[in-house]
Each structure stands twice: as C-alpha cells, then as structure tokens.
Amino acid sequence: MITMSETTGRYETSLAPDTLAFTQALMNTIGHARPPEGDDLLSDTAAAERWLLDACREWAGARAEEAPELAMNELQLGILHRTREQIRQAAEQPSGARAELAPVRVSLDKGRVEIAPLGSGMEWVKSALSVEAIHAEARGERNRLKLCRNNSCGVAFYDRSKNNSRVWHDVRTCGNTANSQRFRDRRSSGPKEA
C-alpha cells in the first residue's frame, strides 16, 4: 500500500505541512522520466483506486473524519487526472492559473469555525483538496507549494526558505543541472578567439 507520505517521499523533497499534504501527494503521483524515476501512480483505475483509498484514509484519519468509499472507473480516473493537472498548473503559475474549488461543509463549534469535505467519492476528494487550499491560503502557505523549475523533473515541493525563493526541489540534482547547462550555454555563445 502506498500512502501519501510514501508518495511524496519517493522524491527527495521538502514535505508540505498537513494543510497541504494531500495536495502535494496528489501532485507527486505523476511519473518522472529522469531520476528519481517513478511510475504514474494513477496510471490505471486499479492503481489510482489503491493510491486514492490509502491517501483518503490517511487524510481522514488525521482529522477524525470519515473516509469516503471509492470505486474508481474510467470517468472518475479522468476527473482525478484533470484535478491533478489543474492543481499542478496553479502551483506552476500562481497568478495565472486556477483550480476550481469544490463545496465544503462549514460549521461553528464552540466558537470555532470548522471546514470539512462534503459529498462522496470523487466529490469528497475534490472537497478535501478544497479544505486544504482554504487552510493553506489562510495560513499563507499555499504559494509555498511549488513545482521544480527543472522541466524534466516537475516534482512538487514545499518551499521552506525564509523568502520563499526556492525554484528546485533539490538544488544538488535539479539546481546543479540547470546551472551547469546555463554555464555551458553562456560559454558556447560567448566571444570566440581567433
């Protein structure tokens, strides 16, 4: 069984706080062509159902919520893929792209506002992602969830830098690769001696 922490942990990356753990894990279900290699965890209905059931149970258990019953079919798999892509686009272009939020349940308990997912199946999944987005926005954490700027990587990471300036999930791998390529490009386009 693959849990959210294992999904995110399959890439050496900075894990998001609980407010964005499910979102980051979903973003990192994609496959990667370069190390660290990994298959798309949502490649077919069976794989997607396994991952999603575990991730939903983990998310719900941490919040004393009831996890939804899920039976993945091709239509739901398509919805899950589109949701993942919208979230990844919103992280890649925070000011230009949007992911639609799903309805959530808002209640007042002992003077405290509580937000919880609504619906069942994929509606619950999208609602749980909306709960995370609302909490993360309120805490100023949403714009710290980013995609690695190395185009052949694309790992979602949480930027813990003081000034929120990280652009690579791992500077040793993706950062060095990008900096080396820029150096080679500058060197080859520079003035040539006769």
Q: Who wins on pLDDT, 166 or 62?
A: 62
Rg (CA), the chain: 19
Whether the pLDDT of residue 60 is over 80: the answer is yes
State pLDDT tens for residues 148-166. Answer: 888 778 889 999 989 988 8
Of 50-64, 116-130, 153-167, the one with minimum mean pLDDT is 153-167
What letter would DSSP give residue 192?
-
Mean pLDDT of 134-157: 88
Distance CA 150, CA 29 (A): 17
The tokens describing 103, both together, are 């309805």
Whether the pLDDT of residue 137 is over 50: the answer is yes
**pLDDT grade, residue 95 (50/70/90)?**
low
Residue ranges and CATH numbers for the domains of the chain are 4-189 (1.10.3300)
Please check whether residue 60 is in contact with residue 182, taking contact to mean a CB–CB distance below 8 angstroms.
no
Best mean pLDDT range from 44-53, 60-69, 144-153, 172-181: 44-53
Residues 6+ apart with CB under 8 A from 77: 42, 44, 45, 48
**pLDDT grade, residue 3 (50/70/90)?**
very low
Mean pLDDT of 33-62: 86
Whether the pLDDT of residue 169 is over 70: the answer is yes
